[in-house]
Structure 1
Amino acid sequence: MIKIERRKYKRIPVYFKVANISVVEPPENRGYIRDISEGGMKIDAVTRIEPGTVLLLDFSLPNENFKFENVGAIVKWLEKGKMGVEFIDLSERQREIIKAYISEYGHNID
């Protein structure tokens, strides 16, 4: 069976730390980002967070001098310790930084 890609944004595999994943204060979890796009990311998470939960994320892209703080995201799916999150309030500047990062580091990946 052929799997058809239905993503709106190009996604590249990565592996770097999420500084904080907050459902409520104080931050209750940390994890590792497994892939990222302008629309969201896949995260390895220690704590189970149910789909539909709204999160605040803090992270930095490797090799970039910009810190993403309190980025709103909603958990879309959860499977085997991984969760897919969709960004819900990225600024245009934040989206452009992610887009440039993907353009620079994702050119050999399809």
Structure 2
Amino acid sequence: MTKCTDILQPLPNEISLSKVLHALSDPVRMEIVLKIAKAGQVACGAFDIPMPKSTLSHHFKVLRESGVVTSRREGNELMNSLRSEELEERFPGLLKSIIAAGSR
């Protein structure tokens, strides 16, 4: 694990397939990933998902700790983007296939 400011994120060689698949198995997390894939990068506060902020934060934490997304601080916001290149290198075609299937 490496720290991006105060945010724990796995190194590319630490990303495991089982954690990625677990993170993407939840419909809320899948919705988050699809929105980030479409926008490129999204602030945590920009998601219009009807749930408590703490629950949404938990979903981002699972995605970040599994290696699906990376987060960086920009002022008071956490900006999130997919770790597309790292995931493609580690598991070729996986993220593209999941995004394509989820977009249908």
TM-score by length of 2: 0.32
Q: Which has the larger radius of gyration?
A: 1
TM-score by length of 1: 0.31
- Greater strand share, structure number: 1
